[in-house]
Amino acid sequence: MLGAYVPGSSPIHRLPAGFKLVALLGAIIAMTLTIRTPVGAAVAVGATVVVFALAGIGPVRAWPMMRGPLVMIALIVVLQLFLADWRKATVVGAVLLASIGLAAVVTLTTRTTDLLDAIVRALSPLRKLGVRTDLIAMALALTIRSIPLLAELFTQVDQARRARGLRAGPRVLFVPAVLAALDTADGFADTLAARGLD
């Protein structure tokens, strides 16, 4: 699966999984609430590039992961240009790009088992209330892992569109991508059910 753990000894690799998850959530919330100008948007994207560099993930490894999101973000930016103005479109696109990039760094530098352990520890107080924290942890880990996978689905759909000589459009891009995403979700569900998870 795209976004699988890549062994390494970078400073990002050495950070605890729990810290990385909290930092990811905090960064996404902070960017969403504070970035209001194109300059702030550029700073967010630049900071994400720095995080990629600190993690030892170069352009060759990063490009295949970010190519899909760029297609999706470009469509959202075009929509924002019609609904708002270029400043708002720039901010929305940059925040989405930075958020997806940071999530990709977390999945590339953290083992799935470490992610699950960190989430289960954070949710452990809910066990006293009868909450199945292991299922919540699995759902969150799958969500984080699926971000790069969904991005790759959009890339594959766009490549198939180009190979057929079709024009870009919401119906041509989104419908096949959504159907492929649903098919992938069914595969996840079957796999989890086979392992005894309801």
Q: How many domains, the chain? A: 1
42 dihedral zone (left: phi>0; alpha: psi -120 to 50; beta): alpha
Q: How far apart are CA 118 and CA 60, in angstroms?
A: 30
Full domain range(s) for residue 75: 11-194
Q: How far apart are CA 173 and CA 180, in angstroms?
A: 11
- Give pLDDT, residue 194: 73
Q: How far apart are CA 12 and CA 22, in angstroms?
A: 13
41 lies in some domain:
yes
73 lies in some domain:
yes
5 lies in some domain:
no
1 lies in some domain:
no
Considering only CA atoms, give the Rg of the chain.
18
Tens place of pLDDT for every residue, the chain, 198 residues?
345 678 888 999 999 998 998 999 999 999 999 999 999 999 999 999 999 999 998 888 777 777 777 888 888 888 888 888 888 889 999 999 999 999 889 988 988 778 878 888 888 888 888 888 777 777 776 776 676 677 777 778 778 878 888 776 667 777 777 777 778 777 777 776 776 665
Q: How far apart are CA 34 and CA 31, in angstroms?
A: 5
- Give pLDDT, residue 174: 73
Q: How far apart are CA 77 and CA 90, in angstroms?
A: 7
- Give pLDDT, residue 170: 66
Q: Is the pTM of this model over 0.85?
A: no
166 lies in some domain:
yes
4 lies in some domain:
no
Q: Classify the C-alpha dihedral 163-185-111-47 as positive or negative.
A: positive
37 lies in some domain:
yes
149 touches 3 (CB < 8 A): yes
3 lies in some domain:
no
Q: Enter the tokens of residue 173.
A: 């891009």
- Give pLDDT, residue 1: 38
